[in-house]
A and B are shown apart, each in its own frame.
Chain A
Amino acid sequence: MTATATIENDLLKAERLTIRFGGLTAVSNLDLLIRRNELVGLIGPNGAGKTTVFNLITGVYQPAEGEILFDGQSVVGSKPYRITARGIARTFQNIRLFSSLSVFDNVRTVFHLHLRGDVRHALWRGRAFLDEEKSIADRVVELLEIFHLEKLRDAPAKSLSYGDQRRLEIVRALAAQPKLLLLDEPAAGMNANEKTDLMRLIQFIKDRFRISVLLVEHDMQVVMGICERIVVLDYGVKIAEGTPDEVRKNPKVVAAYLGD
């Protein structure tokens, strides 16, 4: 592979990423690479800094040091909504849906990113507006169907079961048509069967939409099954990286998880 081909194949590249909260270095000197259409796992014990990495990538936090390149351009210093528009969408560890909006509207809202018309269209409500709203509605339903949520489309998000809420968050993130999808413990609180189903679904959407996925998960077994590559964090430091097999055998990883 030539050098340029490699760069073009890199979707996200974080270098020497560091952030401190007071005396605590939550993420320290982290290098992270995600290639196009790759499913990468990010694991580590409680408080390892996984969610903080998400917050750094999505612009919620600014790194003290380091650089984040997305599609070859820096996202450091950009506002979260701009980063989303550029192609990074996420879910939250502690579910953050638009609770009073319906399932349908939770997803629909995100389509404003791809609107051709603006406020004037909404006020005038002409043909162009109605056509666009119709095509958005079709695409929302299409996404909901993948996750078997179309039957709940008119229910307010807060009335959904825990598992459905988690899946709705993924659908909502997909509506942003991201190149990179960040999932923060999407299977938390699910039983083993639900977890397996969800992991299959994640693999399916990755291929269907040709996106990259960075998946945070507590349960090592779950991640091992589907990830192509795994990055292990402990106390903000990357202690291992490699294929599931390599990571599983790594003594540092075993120690980190046993000490947990």
Chain B
Amino acid sequence: MRFRHAKLLLLVALGLSLLVSLGADRIDAYVLFVLYNIGIYIILAVSLNLINGYTGQFSLGHAGFMAVGGYTAAVITNQFGALNPFASGALFFGALLAGGLLAAVAGLLVGLPTLRLKGDYLAIVTLGFGEIIRVIFQNMDRVGGARGLSVMHGYTNFFWTFGMAAVTVYVVTALVHSTYGRGFIAVRDDEIAAEAMGINTTKYKVTAFVVGAFFAGIAGGLYAHSTQFLTPGGFNFMQSIAIVVMVILGGMGNTPGVILAAILLTLLPEGLRWMAGVEHLPGIAKMHPLGWIGDTRMIIYSLLLIVLMLTRPQGLFIWRRKFRNAPP
């Protein structure tokens, strides 16, 4: 059985995140900001991979769950003034959890009625759901509507970002690497056979949606307290597609590949900016992480997808294991 020292690895990852976090004032603010984005996209991509990759449900609603978590956490922390580090840590953790839980509830609400739908239909409905969430926030004056919401505290740090990323990877991997969790893959491979083998396929699909949405909500909270400014537009369907591309690029149901894809695709726009010789502008980057490159990113992603689908439909980072005794 692989994944043996899982809990130990998780503790090591948490310890390392804390260590780096303590020395973070020595790291350039821009580099730190990009690192946070990497952590946030790892959470988003790995959690979506549970839904789209392992369970085989094509969801395009991840930005919607992220928005629910982001706005929830921001509204909570905005109620408080300056706090000592301990209290602020507790507050932030609580706010992240609340955002995750509310996103999970949203996942349940979308999941239950839509999971009868397959493939393209599910994609369209989840995409519609994401857009509805966005429009709701856009029309909610309480959170600034289309003007956006200022987030007072920049609580996101290295520990929370990569600690949460480690927890996400742990949870998804632990789930899938168990007798219970092989059911997710069974549902993806053949739903009729899964049902005939005693697997409650609806329950598995809803579970994938709820767990995936929970972590998307956490990522939203981290994002909110990193950029310190939320606009509904930041959670549009391009955001969902960006996460889907990471999952496809990494290889559906291949967590290490998906992590790698999340890192590369987060760095890509930064690299392009560097190649173009543009000085990085922390102010702009802060308000629109990745987004500033806008249409260019869209073109790059589209091209990437097309090239990928033509050349490596199984994903870029799938390593085929060799099977002894396997017949040709």
Chains A and B belong together in one complex: yes
In the complex, what distance in Å separates the CA atom of A97 from the CA atom of B196?
A: 11
Q: Mark B24-41, 1 if CB is under 8 A from A, else 0.
A: 000000000000000000
The residues in B between 142 and 198 inclusive whose CB is less than 8 angstroms from any CB of A are 171, 174-175, 177-183, 185-186, 188-190, 192-198
Q: Is there contact, CB below 8 Å, between B196 and A90?
A: yes
Q: Find chain B residues with CB under 8 A from A190 CB.
A: none
| Per-position binary interface string of chain B over residues 294-328, scored 1 when its CB falls under 8 Å from any chain A CB and 0 otherwise | 00000000000000000000000000000111110
Interface string of A128-165 (1 = CB under 8 A from B): 01001100110000000000000110111001110000
> Which of A84, A122, A155 has a CB less than 8 Å from the CB of B197?
A84
A24-57 vs B, CB cutoff 8 Å, 1 = contact: the mask equals 0000000000000000000000000000000000
Residues of A near B178 (CB, < 8 A) are 121-122, 129, 133
Would you call A100 and B323 a contact (CB within 8 A)?
no
Q: Does A111 contact B (CB under 8 A)?
A: yes
Instruction: Tell me, yes or no, whether A254 is within 8 Å of chain B by CB.
Output: no
Asked if B192 contacts A96 (CB within 8 A), the reply is yes
CB–CB A98/B198 < 8 A: no
Contact residue range for chain A?
35 or more
Report the tally of A-B residue pairs with Cβ distances under 8 A.
121
A115-B6 Cα distance, complex, nearest whole Å? 21
B82 at the interface (CB under 8 A from A): no
Q: Tell yes or no: A5 within 8 A of B by CB.
A: no
Assess the A84–B180 pair: CB atoms within 8 A.
Answer: no
Please give me the residue from chain B that is nearest to A157 by CB atom.
B189
B276 interface residue (CB < 8 Å to A): no
Contact indicator A133/B179 (Cβ below 8 Å) = yes
Within 8 A of A (CB), among B183-236: 183, 185-186, 188-190, 192-201, 207
Q: How far is the CB of A174 from chain B (nearest CB, A)?
A: 11
- Give bound CA distance, A116 to B230, whole Å: 45
Distance of A62 from chain B, by nearest CB (Å): 14
Alpha-carbon distance between A79 and B202 when the two chains are bound, in angstroms: 11
Q: Which of A101-109, A191-199, A201-209, A218-226 contacts B (4 or more CB under 8 A)?
A: A101-109
Q: Give the distance to chain B from A94, nearest Cβ to Cβ, in Å.
A: 10
B180 touches A118 (CB 8 A): yes
Q: Is the beta-carbon distance between B179 and A159 smaller than 8 angstroms?
A: no
Given contacts A81-B200, A108-B179, A112-B183, contact A155 B323 (CB under 8 A): yes
B196 and A159 contacting across the interface, CB-CB below 8 Å = no
Looking at A58, A117, A123, A159, the one whose CB has the most chain B CB atoms below 10 A away is A123
Contacts of B6 on A, CB cut-off 8 Å? Answer: 125
Asked whether, in the complex, the Cβ of B185 is within 8 Å of the Cβ of A98, the reply is yes
Contact A98 B195 (CB under 8 A): no
Q: Does A11 contact B (CB under 8 A)?
A: no
CA distance A132 to B175 in the complex (A): 15
Chain B interface residues toward A at CB < 8 A: 1, 6-7, 171, 174-175, 177-183, 185-186, 188-190, 192-201, 207, 253, 323-327
New A-B contacts (8) at CB < 8 Å, excluding given A105-B185, A108-B179: A80-B196, A97-B190, A98-B186, A115-B179, A118-B180, A154-B326, A160-B327, A176-B197
26 contacts between A and B (CB under 8 A): A79-B195, A80-B195, A80-B196, A81-B195, A81-B196, A81-B200, A84-B196, A85-B198, A92-B193, A97-B193, A100-B253, A101-B185, A105-B182, A105-B185, A109-B185, A109-B186, A109-B199, A112-B199, A122-B175, A122-B178, A122-B179, A125-B6, A133-B178, A136-B179, A155-B327, A176-B198
